[in-house]
Amino acid sequence: MSEHETAARGINQLEGYLLLQAENTNAVREAEEFARLMPWLTGARREEVVALYAERRMAVSRTAIRAVADRCRELRQEYTERYEELRRRLLCATAATVLGMLVLCVLVEVWIRSALP
């Protein structure tokens, strides 16, 4: 793996880590807001509700992120296949055009030579 690829991979991992930490912070904040709606909870019960809510929220987030990542991989594959097909078609069209022009040039040359005395 090249130095550039290694750096890009490291940056992607760092970005993923930071996004996960931000998601975790949001999950805990939402859990605390949820627990505040239940003022009758004792300290230990409140902490338990916050922990369970945040844990569940992170599980849902992980599932959603995996689904998005899977779809991204599917789309990348579809776009790659489509690009390769379009490239093949363009190459064939270009080759056919060049061949057609070559045949036309030969026919014009033959016609000109046959028309000259």
Global confidence as pTM: 0.66
Cα 96 versus chain centre, distance: 35
pLDDT digits (tens, 9 = 90+) for 20-46: 999 999 999 999 999 999 999 999 999
Query: pLDDT at residue 116 above 90?
Result: no
Q: Which residue has the tokens 């078609």?
A: 89
Mean pLDDT over the full length of the chain: 95
Which string of b and e fits 34-46 if b means at least 16 CB within 10 Å?
ebeeeeeeeeeeb
Burial of 50 (0-12, 13-18, 19+ CB in 10 A): buried
The predicted-structure confidence for 6-19, as pLDDT tens digits, reads as follows: 999 999 999 989 99
Q: What is the pLDDT of residue 1?
A: 79
Q: What is the 3-state secondary structure (H, E, C) of 14-46?
A: HHHHHHHHHHHHHHHHHHHHHHHCCCCCCHHHH
The letter for the amino acid at 37 is: L
What is the spatial distance between Cα 26 and Cα 57, in angstroms, rounded to a whole number? Answer: 9
Q: Are 57 and 30 in contact (CB under 8 A)?
A: yes
Segment 54-107, tens digit of pLDDT: 999 999 999 999 999 999 999 999 999 999 999 999 999 999 999 999 999 999
Residue with tokens 């909870």: 41
